[in-house]
Structure 1
């Protein structure tokens, strides 16, 4: 089975961490996502995060789309929806600590617990890997992509932010099912050449 996991494109706002903030795609973002689809074989199932920056594009381009709450981005609590300048102005010490260790659980006020975020993403990923479909196309977020890569590549949290995951980045996986087990390979990680990393 093939799974393509595509991050949403650029959005209209200037938000630093848009976990549950429902930012709309910009026209550039829509173009980035269309570019990410070039060369893909026809999927048999299309799955999306509930966020409009993923869902709107999926529903505009495909007839049958399944929305999965488990593929939503991490909730960034009090920082969700703020610009970097706003966070720097109101939470300077916490922001410094965040850049030193983005996966620490006690930095962002009211943020979603990281192990719980990881658990919901991994549980959904494992469910998807057991699908009878031969090609899944998923629209989601960079945080979700990082949790999937952590699972597949057995990475440590500290290494996850050394990965560049730009807007409309596409990860391609090959999944082989043997009885109840799934063996997964990362086949390709493709960046959109016109996309930033925010």
Structure 2
């Protein structure tokens, strides 16, 4: 029986990552670029690759040596008016909004994307990817990988913020006979 082996890779670190800030469309920091380049040797055979449209995702894919097609469905969660701002700044200015966003998957107090909308987008992407075969790599963002984990594990969407995804973390998935399984996360 043929199947799809999908590796989701979180983009490498940026200045926003190090500052606990919500990113804008920024490039990788030099240390993140070096780590992505070093990770390339461990990927093995890759039959196809996708990347999100953000600069940090595309640069990570390039550093990994991938010729990846850009797919808007792999975009980071839309952070609305919070993009480019630090978590501490948002917590000080809008603690109720931040609390609501991290506790209610349907909330979007930042005028961006709710976790529920992100889950729907990622779920559609995973469903569309299932007919593919071979070993595929998708360079994306921590939020997209969290969403994929919630979907694959059929977990409560409120658990979204309990999944920690570091820069360059890899989630290895397999689709066989219309069913996704988690092979590893690390």
TM-score (norm 2): 0.86
1:157-176 equivalence runs, <5 A: 157-176=157-176
Which consecutive unaligned segments of at least 5 residues does structure 2 have? none
The answer to whether residue 51 in structure 2 is matched with residue 48 in structure 1 is yes
Q: In structure 2, which of residues 53, 70, 74 is the aligned counterpart of residue 71 of structure 1?
A: 74
Q: 1:184 to 1:96 in 2, by over 3 A?
A: closer
Cα drift, residue 61 of structure 1 = 4.2
Q: How well do the aligned residues superpose, as a CA RMSD in angstroms?
A: 2.0
Describe how 1:1-198 pairs up with structure 2 within 5 A. Answer: 1-13=4-16, 14=19, 16-18=21-23, 21-62=24-65, 64-99=67-102, 101=103, 103-106=105-108, 108-132=109-133, 134-177=134-177, 182-190=178-186
Instruction: Label 1:151 to 1:9 Cα distance change in 2 as closer, same or farther (>3 A).
Output: same
Post-superposition offset of 1:55: 0.5
The answer to whether the 8 Å contact 1:50/1:69 transfers is yes
- Pick closer, same or farther for the CA change 1:25–1:102 going to 2, 3 Å: farther
CA shift, 1:96, in A, is: 3.7
Cα drift, residue 144 of structure 1: 0.6
Given that 1:15 and 1:81 are in contact with CA atoms closer than 8 Å, whether structure 2 keeps it comes out as no
Take 1:154 and 1:143, find their aligned partners in 2: how far apart are those partners?
16
- Structure having the larger proportion of residues in helix: 2
